[in-house]
């Protein structure tokens, strides 16, 4: 049974940094492109970033480009999202997904995404 468990969220001031982690199990992690998706309070799902199976190809939403960095370690079955220069608009529940979404992807929450982790950017 595929399972993704997000962690690392919390309260941070604007301009601060957080590093989110996603622990994967129940599937061959190295065979899947991965993504980070977020849902701001009261809003719909928004694609944030994606990474290829080897980690040598990455993509970012325009809203986070230059501030966020996605990475993975296939030996550890782990995906990360380093978030710098955080803005209040980044406040959301962040999910990881075992699919390489893109800016045009139509997103629908999947049970494998887990509970997500809340990032609250506020002073």
- For 24-70, the pLDDT digits (tens) are 999 999 999 999 999 999 999 999 999 999 999 999 999 999 999 99
Provide, rounded to the nearest whole percent, the portion of the chain with pLDDT above 90.
99
Q: What is the pLDDT of residues 103-113, one digit of tens each?
A: 999 999 999 99
Q: How far apart are CA 64 and CA 58, in angstroms?
A: 13
Average pLDDT, rounded, for the chain: 97
Mean pLDDT of 73-97: 98
């Amino acid at each position: 049974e595929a399972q993704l468990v997000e962690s690392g969220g919390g309260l941070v001031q604007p301009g601060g940094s957080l590093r989110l982690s996603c622990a994967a199990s129940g599937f061959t992690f190295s065979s899947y492109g991965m993504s980070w998706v977020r849902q701001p309070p009261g809003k719909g799902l928004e694609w944030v970033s994606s990474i290829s199976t080897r980690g040598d190809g990455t993509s970012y939403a325009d809203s986070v480009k230059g501030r966020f960095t996605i990475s993975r370690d296939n030996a550890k079955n782990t995906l990360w999202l380093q978030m710098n220069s955080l803005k209040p608009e980044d406040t959301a529940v962040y999910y990881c997904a075992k699919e390489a979404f893109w800016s045009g992807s139509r997103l629908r929450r999947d049970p494998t995404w887990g509970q997500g982790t809340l990032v609250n950017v506020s002073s």
